[in-house]
Each structure stands twice: as structure tokens, then as C-alpha cells.
Chain A
């Protein structure tokens, strides 16, 4: 990832940031839904948050929009063009919620109640399961979204009761603004129909229109294309492009429809098990092996089937080969200095097709009993068998792996990146220590 950041020119989301999520952690009792997540949303970008089911995307959304209070971390919303770093740091120290300047402002969203986030920080959202006011007309839905400016215009209801001209004007403007968004979302014909009466696709668009009526700087969409047919999906893309282009609203969206994501987003952040596994432009993410494995849903129990899938995915192999060549040139000498065949007693067919180096293995476990490798989180019984076939029987063998070995095994087991993420080496080190301790203890007694 770091290499990707360095090789590509600076992205919009690195320097022109509207929202930055920093070290966000969300724990529900014992469940770690989001773990130390950091990413930026560039001003004027369409940023997509993707990941398999249960990856924690909606939790991130709920933290950003204040529906959950994060366990740890900082969420900074910025109005105005600068990063305003000093302001953010100063604000963090004070314990205040926001620092509103003349034409720039900084908000610490994790400190603000949900309605204030929409009202002041100007972050609007939609919901995965549509939450419209079903018994109110489409127009009324959009008027509710303009509650706060209208409240002020009605001088907190007093002026409204007497129907003062100032309020009448504000109400007419609010209806015009609502009509503008109904027009843009193609719902103007249904303005006076109850929202619950609209077809599903219209309801999705109405929810976006309603969110836009709060005049947001950042629009958060939770699966806006879910349940849409291809034509509606295309229209949605156009609508989002329009919102970004003509209103300068930054968009953060959760989406499962890869067609939508790849087509419209400038920046993609990939989550899996509450952690960020990839971050970059769509092309970068598309070719990231970690993303591919996460999306194939590789699990130790499923490896057998995954291998079948992998046959259909020459992309992975090609990618792996390319990586190997790349690596081979860079560290060719190192690789040749210690020939893998000599290091390992086991010879595996096609070992040279994987990047890195095959770890050394033993034909037999050292004592009569091998260690239980499944105690390493991430190794299942299938993978244990595979590792045994490689001659890996003991924790200390895993613990001894270097980066090259890890890479090779990752590629061999067809889930690149995962070993690093779950840190098998560290786990194995801890387990190896435990085994050694037990043995010495026994020795002492006897």
C-alpha cells in the first residue's frame, strides 16, 4: 500500500480533505466491528466504501453521522479549502465540538449529537433500508429536510402562526427548492403523492433528494443502488455525478454494485473484518490481490472450492507472475543466494510459480507429535493439512518465516495478504514460547 502511495502522484484525498476518519474503532461488547480504521474523503470526490457483508461499512457510516459514538478515534469534517491542521489539533485538545470561522470550519463529529451533524457540519445521509416519511407527500418529505432554516424563518414558530410576510417568502422558497430537487430526481409529477406510494426506485431517489435538501457538504449514501434495475442504476450514476459536479457536494457511498463503484468513484476504500485492506483509485483497488481474496471470501474451510474458482481467474495467476518478476529483479540475488530447494526438505510442484521463497520444511515432525497449527487464528484444518504437506509442523517453524516466506505461503494458499494481516508469525511466536515453556516445565519435574 505504501508503495502504491509513493509511486502514484498525490491524490486529491491526501491534501484536499473534507472528511477524515482517524483511527476509528467501534466495539459492541466483545465484537470489534471497526478496528483502527483511517481514511480520507477528498473534497468533491465520490468515495466508495466497499467490502464483503459484515465488513463494518454501515458501522463506519453510523459513526460518521453520529448514530453511533465511536469507541476510539477522531472524525474530522472540514468546511473550507485548507486542511486546517492546527485548528483541528487545537480543537481536539479543548474538548469543544466545533470551531466555526468566517469561511472555514472544523467539526469533530465523534463529539456531536446526530442531529447537529446534519444541522451544522452539513453531513447528510440516506439509509440502507429506505427511511422516508411514508404518510407524507414527496414534497412534504423535502420540506421536513429544510426544517432548520424554516424554523428560523418562522421566528421559532411565533412569526409563522401569524403568517408574517418573511415566513411566507421563506416557505415559498423552500417549496421552490424542493421542486428543484424533485425535478432533478424526476419525481416532480409525483410531488403530491405520499412517499409510501412511490415505486422502490423513486423512493431511493427521493431519499437522496431529501438528503440534498439539507444542503450538505458531504452526502453519505448507504447502498443507493440496492434493488435498482440497470436503467435506474445508470440514472443514479448520472444523478450522483450531477450532484458532485454542479453542487460541489462530496459523496461517500457504500455500494455492493461494482459496476456503479468502478464507474463513478474517484476513490475506493475497501474494508474487511473492520479493517482497511485497500485504499486508492478504482484501478488500484481492482487489482489488489487482498481485495480479490476478500471478495472471493477465502476462508480456510473453503480453500478447496476457492482453488476451483482460482482456475477461472487467470487474473490472479497473471498478477502473481507479474509480482514475482518484479520481485525477482529487485531481490534476485538474495533469492538465488539461498536456493529454496536446499532450505526445504520438501519439494513442492510449481513452487517457483509463487513469489517469495518456500519456507523450509521437515519430512517428519521433530518429536512424534506435531503442534496444533489451528490454534493460530486464521489457520483451519484444511490449511493445516496443506502446511503439513509443506513440512510445516511446529509453531517455531511459522515463527521463523520472513517476509519472503510469508509472501510465498500466502500465494501458495491462495490468499495473499492475509497472513500479514492476521500476523501468523507473531501468533506462532507466542504459541512457540508457550510450548517451549511447557516442555521445560515438564523436564524440570522429571
Chain B
């Protein structure tokens, strides 16, 4: 920043403003911070907490002063500075290396974890599985929202269909994971088409509302159809996946066959590789589809539906395939979720899940594959990280529970990202076909489709 030294009048003004804010905070906070009443013998005990009151006032003064000096009153607010430095070109440079690096890390992750954190490997691999599930869901939803531009607020419905398909097939017909997986995907795709039909003519907010309702309908049906789905009791005892027929059991299973000492970690590593494979298939298919006429038609649909129709594209079928393929990957992920948990209930498929998946896609940047990975790691990993911030208890006292603040932190992070990069972390678009030179397309050119 060129004007490093703030103008004296700016400083004076800022201090004055901060003092006013601090005074207001002191007055308003007097009864909340400074005085405390407890039920005591024969009435109320009054305790004074001058220290707390003073600290709160001081915090208001300091933060207000900092904001005044750096953001509100200065000619070069730091927020602007952040925007300028984080240009698209540097990010795309990182992005080129980021993909392969992330892939290598993902492929070796369980062994890295076992080597680096031998005591907590189970917990970390489990977290990695969870993140990977969300990556896959994000990639699946990216087809519908990012490519075809159809805002879907009920994506969790397909996740639920996949999970319940497998659980019910296992319960009623004794199907194993590998046999149920493709069927669960097909069923979810079918539900995608069923949802697709009524919403074909809808645009914008109306589309979003109907998909939202669809997500809730599925959950409510699962909750109330007690005889079939077990209702709120859920379904337990869902079989674990086998490795070419080998169970991960203490005797006669995977470990014995390969002559390894039995360790429960084997199953976690195996689950991790299953979801990694499923996610990579999702990614591969999405990337391939983008370069095929169908994927290009999706993107064209997002850009301009009327122009699509004038070029002979059947927009009905195009939308339905987007819904179906997105739903299919949701179904695969759901099926995996069921086998990993061993128990499912409608509780796991609330609107919040849809919102988180959509947030991952939006924060990552609509249509960006690597953006989804970054957003999943940050959002899901970040939430889990809060559980492990034990040192915060030493600062704020033993009652402090950081996970209670996760939504607050979550919201703050979202606001920051949207200020910094309003179109998501990776917002530029890669062209699907190149004549001479591959050029990134800036986010300001790319349309967002319906409902944004």
C-alpha cells in the first residue's frame, strides 16, 4: 500500500469513532458483563465482574479502531488489497500443480497417516473417508448445478435413495455391497428423472423450491413408512463391503488370507480406497462428459436455453440426463455411506446436508472440480478440526465447546470467501475444446444458469 502512514486527522477521527463505539458497548454491556446475579440464600447474590466488562469494552475499541484504520476510512482498504494480490493467474498456476499433488496425497493418504500419526490413524482415516464422501457428492452435484446450471436444493434425496436402496436390498434380499452399488445408482438415477420431469419447465427460484421440497418428501416418506423402512429407528446391520469375497474379520478374512496380523485399521483403509475410487470415477466421467456433446450441451443450457433449442438440442432430454447422472453419483455415495456407517436413519438426510453439499460446490466455484476438493477439505475437515482444538479450553475455560461455534465460523468463512472471490475459489472455466491455444475463461463471462 502506498499510503502506509495514516493521515493524522484519519487517526484522530478513527480514535474518536472507536471511543464512541467503546462507550456504547460499555453502556449496553454494563448489565450483561459487569453485574451478575446468582440465586443465593435469602435472595440474589450480586457479583461484580469489572474485569470482564473492561475487557469487552477494550475489545470493541481495538477492533473498531483497526477496522477504521484499515477498512472503513482509509482510501486503500485491506480488503481491496487482498482482492488484487489473489489474482486468477497465480491461482491457476498453483491449480496446474495442485491436481496431481492432491491425487498423489490422496492415493497414499492412509499410509501417510499411519506413519505420521500412529496413535490416531483410525480417526484421521475416518475423517478422510468423510471428506472424500463429500468430495464425491460435490462432484455429483457439480454436474447439475455447475455444468447444467440447474439449482438443486434437494440433492440429499438421491444420497438417501442410494443409502436406503442398499440397506433395504441387504435387509430383504441379502444383497452385498458390490451387487447393490450399481442398482442403488440406477435407482437414484431413476428418481433423478422422476424429479426432473416436473421441474423441467421451472426456472430460477421456483426450480430451487421444488427441488428443496423433493428432498424433504423423500426424507418424510422414509421417516413415516415404518413397516418398510423402519421409520425413525432406521436400518442397522448393513453389511460391510468384502474384498473379492474376503471379509475383514478376525478369523478367516482378509488378514489371514494375506498372512497379515489382524488389525481393525484394514477395513478403514479399504473403505477409504473404495470411496477414493468412486470419487475418481465420478471425476473422470464428469471431465469426459464435459468434452462430449452432452456435457457441452449442459453448459450451453446454462448459458442460454433458447439458443440451445434454436440449435436443435432437445433441452428436455439434456436436463433429464443432467439430473439422472448427478443423481446416480449421489446414489453411489449414499450406498457407500450406508456400508460405512452400518446404520442409517432419516436423520442423516436432512436439508442441512443438501445445504452443505451445495455450499461446497458454490464455495469451490461452480463447475470447478478442484474447487470442490478444496472446499470439502476446508469445510468438512475444518468442522472436525474444531473438535480437536483442546487448547481453546485452556483459554476460555473448561465449559467451552468449540464445535458449538462451528456454524458461526462456517458462516464467517463463507462471508470471507464471498467477499474475496464472489464466484468461488476456482471460478475460471476451462474450455472443452481447443483450436490453437487453451485460454481460461474468466468468471465474469460465464453464466450461472437458473436460480442463482
The chain A residues found within 8 Å of chain B, CB to CB, are 65, 67, 114-119, 124-125, 127, 131-137, 139-140, 143-148, 150-151, 154, 157, 160-161, 163, 171, 175, 178-179, 182, 188, 191-194, 196-197, 210-211, 214
Q: Is the CB of B447 within 8 A of A139?
A: no
Residues of A within 8 A of B309 (CB): 67, 114-115, 118
| Binding-face segment, B151-159, B261-269, B404-412, B428-436 | B428-436
Q: Which residue of A lies closest to B446 (CB)?
A: A135
Query: Residues of A contacting B429 with CB < 8 Å?
Result: 135
Q: Mark B281-307, 1 if CB is under 8 A from A, else 0.
A: 000010011001110110110111011
Partner of A118, one of B299, B311, B321, B435: B311
Residues of chain B with a CB closer than 8 A to A151's CB: 293-294
Q: Residues of B at under 8 Å CB distance from A?
A: 285, 288-289, 292-294, 296-297, 299-300, 302-304, 306-315, 321, 429, 431-439, 441-442, 445-447
Q: B residues within 8 A CB of A179?
A: 435
Chain A residues closer than 8 Å to B292, beta-carbon distance: 150, 154, 157, 160-161
Name 25 A/B residue pairs within 8 A (Cβ), A-sorted: A115-B311, A115-B313, A118-B310, A119-B314, A127-B306, A127-B310, A132-B303, A132-B307, A133-B304, A135-B299, A135-B429, A135-B445, A136-B431, A137-B431, A140-B299, A143-B432, A144-B296, A144-B311, A146-B293, A147-B311, A148-B312, A150-B292, A154-B294, A175-B435, A192-B439
State whether A147 and B431 are in contact (beta carbons under 8 Å apart), knowing that A136-B303, A192-B439, A196-B445 are contacts in the complex.
no
Q: How far is the CA of A348 from the CA of B238 in the complex (A)?
A: 103
Contacts of A144 in B (CB 8 A): 296-297, 300, 308, 311, 313
**With the chains together, A175 CA to B302 CA distance in Å?**
22
Give the distance to chain A from B428, nearest Cβ to Cβ, in Å: 10
Could you tell me if A67 and B306 are in contact, using CB atoms closer than 8 angstroms? yes
Assembly CA distance A125 to B306 (angstroms): 11
**In the complex, are the beta carbons of A134 and B303 less than 8 A apart?**
yes
CB distance from A206 to the nearest CB of B (A): 12
Across-interface contacts of B438 in A (CB, < 8 A)? 192
Shortest distance from the beta carbon of A172 to any chain B beta carbon, whole Å: 11
Q: Of all chain A residues, which has the CB nearest B300?
A: A144
Is the CB–CB distance between B433 and A175 below 8 Å?
yes
Is B300 within 8 A of A136, CB to CB? yes
Q: Which residue on chain B has the smallest CB distance to residue A138?
A: B435
A71 vs chain B, min Cβ distance (A): 21
Q: Which one of B299, B312, B436 contacts A115 once the chains associate, using CB atoms below 8 Å? A: B312
User: Assuming A160-B288, A161-B288, A194-B445, is B435 touching A210 (CB within 8 A)?
Assistant: no
Q: Are B310 and A192 in contact (CB under 8 A)?
A: no
CA distance A136 to B437 in the complex (A): 14
Cβ–Cβ contact B310 & A125, under 8 A: yes
Q: State whether A133 and B300 are in contact (beta carbons under 8 Å apart), knowing that A144-B313, A147-B313, A151-B294 are contacts in the complex.
A: yes
Contact across chains for B294 and A135 when beta carbons are under 8 A apart: no
- Choose among B438, B439, B445 the residue with the greatest number of A CB atoms under 10 Å from its CB: B445
Residues of B within 8 A of A147 (CB): 293, 296-297, 300, 311-313
- Closest chain-B Cβ to A220's Cβ sits at a distance in Å of 9
Instruction: In the A-B complex, list the 3 residue pairs whose CB atoms are closest, starting with the nearest.
Output: A135-B446, A118-B312, A119-B312
Known A144-B300, A147-B313; further 13 A-B contacts with Cβ < 8 A: A65-B310, A115-B312, A115-B315, A118-B310, A131-B310, A132-B307, A133-B304, A134-B446, A143-B433, A147-B311, A150-B293, A160-B294, A192-B439
* Contact residues in B for A116 (Cβ distance below 8 Å): 312
The docked-state distance in angstroms from the alpha carbon of A303 to that of B369 is 66
**B293 and A160 within 8 A (CB):** yes
Q: Determine whether the beta carbon of B439 is less than 8 Å from that of A139.
A: no
Residue of B nearest to A131 (CB): B307
Q: Cβ of B447 and Cβ of A192 under 8 Å apart?
A: no
Contacts of B302 in A (CB 8 A): 135
Query: A131 — which chain B residues lie within 8 A by C-beta?
Result: 304, 306-307, 310
Q: Is the CB of B439 within 8 A of A143?
A: no
Partner of B304, one of A132, A148, A211: A132
In angstroms, Cα B303 to Cα A380, docked, is 48
A161 to B287, CA, bound (A): 10
Contact indicator A115/B431 (Cβ below 8 Å): no
Q: Bound complex: CA of A117 vs CA of B433, how far in Å?
A: 27
Q: Which of B292, B297, B437 has its CB near the most chain A CB atoms (within 10 A)?
A: B292
What residue in chain A is nearest B302 (Cβ atoms)? A135
CB-CB under 8 A from B432, the residues of chain A are 136, 140, 143
**With a CB–CB cut-off of 8 A, which chain B residues contact A210?**
311
Cα of A178 to Cα of B433 in the assembled complex, Å: 11
Interface centre among A65, A119, A151 (most CB of B within 10 A): A151
Residue numbers in B under 8 Å from A188 (CB-CB): 435
A154-B293 CB under 8 A given contacts A135-B445, A135-B446: yes
- Contact (Cβ within 8 A) B431 A133: no
Is A134's CB under 8 angstroms from B288's CB? no
Which of B294, B308, B435 lies in contact with A192, CB distance below 8 A? B435
- Interface centre among A133, A163, A178, A193, by most B CB within 10 Å? A133
| Residue with the greatest number of chain B CB neighbours at <10 A, chosen from A125, A132, A194 | A194
Instruction: Please name all residues of chain A whose beta carbon is closer than 8 Å to the beta carbon of B431 when the two chains form the complex.
Output: 136-137, 139-140, 192
A145 touches B433 (CB 8 A): no
Residues of B near A140 (CB, < 8 A) are: 296, 299, 431-433
Q: Which residues on the A side are within 8 Å of B310 (C-beta)?
A: 65, 67, 114, 118, 124-125, 127, 131, 211
Say whether A193 contacts B313, CB under 8 Å.
no
Contacts of A163 in B (CB 8 A): 288
Interchain CA distance A179-B439 in the complex, whole Å = 17
Q: Which residues of A have CB within 8 Å of B297?
A: 144, 147
Which residue of chain A has the shortest Cβ distance to B306 in the bound complex? Answer: A131
Q: How far is the CA of A197 from the CA of B441 in the complex (A)?
A: 10
Query: Contacts of B442 on A, CB cut-off 8 Å?
Result: 194
B441–A137 contact, CB under 8 A? yes
Check A214/B311 contact, CB under 8 A, given A135-B445, A196-B445. Answer: yes
* A135-B436 in contact given A65-B310, A115-B313, A140-B296 (Cβ < 8 Å): no
Q: How far, in Å, is A118 (CB) from chain B's closest CB?
A: 4
Contacts of A191 in B (CB 8 A): 435-436
Residues of A within 8 A of B296 (CB): 136, 140, 143-144, 147
- Tell me how far the C-beta of B249 lies from the nearest C-beta in chain A, rounded to whole angstroms: 37
Among A67, A124, A157, A197, chain B packs the most CB atoms within 10 A around the CB of: A157
